Structure 1
Amino acid sequence: MRTTARWAATIGLTAGALCGPLTGAATAAPGSAPASLYAPSALVLTTGHGESASAATVERAVTLDCSTAPTGTHPDPAAACAELRAADGDLTAVATPEPGVMCTRQWDPVVITVDGVWQGQRVSYERTFANECVKSSYESSVFAF
């Protein structure tokens, strides 16, 4: 009888040790959203006139969510998310000047800011262009808003 009780206790403890961690997912609170398998990638992009973000007047702000399906108020979230993924989230590598575009040398600074989270990491980016023409001459869907 003692051997049977010992085996039953051993099997019960082993099953509890092996299956115990698996029961956490089954006991989620009713009505709660499941945890995402994707790291968050949500950004707020702004543009305005001024030499820096602290001195600029914000003229437009858009959102861009690249966590699962590209969404947000950005005019082309699919292309912007594809560019960011291809650059591994490096905002300095996203925009390259288009060859052959001629702009005046007028100083009317335009500043772009990007704040948020890219694949779980905090992002804060600021870039100042000499004028709107220079900003538009960069081949980037990310900054085209």
Structure 2
Amino acid sequence: MRNTARWAATLGLSAAAVCGPLTGASAASPASAPASLYAPSALVLTIGHGDNSAMVTPERAVTLSCAPKASGTHPAAVQACAELRGAGGDFDALAGSGDVQCTKEYNPVLVTAQGVWQGKRVSYERTFGNACVKDAYESSVFAF
């Protein structure tokens, strides 16, 4: 009886070892198309007060997904995705007009973006002198 149980276990493990890779190969066959033809673009955007991300607890955070269509918890996802596409995903290129006047009060506001933009890893951080300076950029990406 012991040999029968041993043979049954050996046959079961052998079958799993031989057939397991075959099952995975069929799942990756050409018949199974990728979930999306678009490169992923999904970001988590945060805003907090302070000048160092290691010391700042985000006060607000939203998600922004831009492919294949704009979505997420961002209040103006369509406009934010359009601005990022126009800037080629370069957050520093989201410059605003220079005709806004702000006080020189130093109350730093830190914005961050983490995630993937068109298939490439993104890690962005910028500190503004105060909320007025941040809002002067007139970009909807960090307007939440």
Please, which moves more after superposition, 63-72 or 50-59? 50-59
Identical-pair percentage:
61
AA partner of residue 90 (structure 1): D
Partners of 1:72 and 1:43 lie apart in 2 by: 9
Q: What residue number does 1:102 align with?
A: 101
Partners of 1:92 and 1:99 lie apart in 2 by: 15
TM-score, structure 1 normalization? 0.76
AA partner of residue 100 (structure 1): D
Task: Answer yes or no: is 1:35 the counterpart of 2:35.
Answer: yes
Distance apart, 1:143 and its partner CA: 1.3
Partners of 1:105 and 1:68 lie apart in 2 by: 41
Matched position secondary structure for 1:84: helix
Q: What residue number does 2:25 align with?
A: none
CA deviation string 1:94-114 (max 9, x = no partner): 2x1323211111110000000
Q: What residue number does 1:87 align with?
A: 87
Partners of 1:126 and 1:99 lie apart in 2 by: 21
Q: Which runs of 5+ in 1 are unaligned?
A: 1-22
Aligned length: 117
TM-score, structure 2 normalization? 0.76
Distance apart, 1:35 and its partner CA: 2.5
Distance apart, 1:93 and its partner CA: 0.4
Instruction: Name whichever structure is richer in strand by fraction.
Output: 1
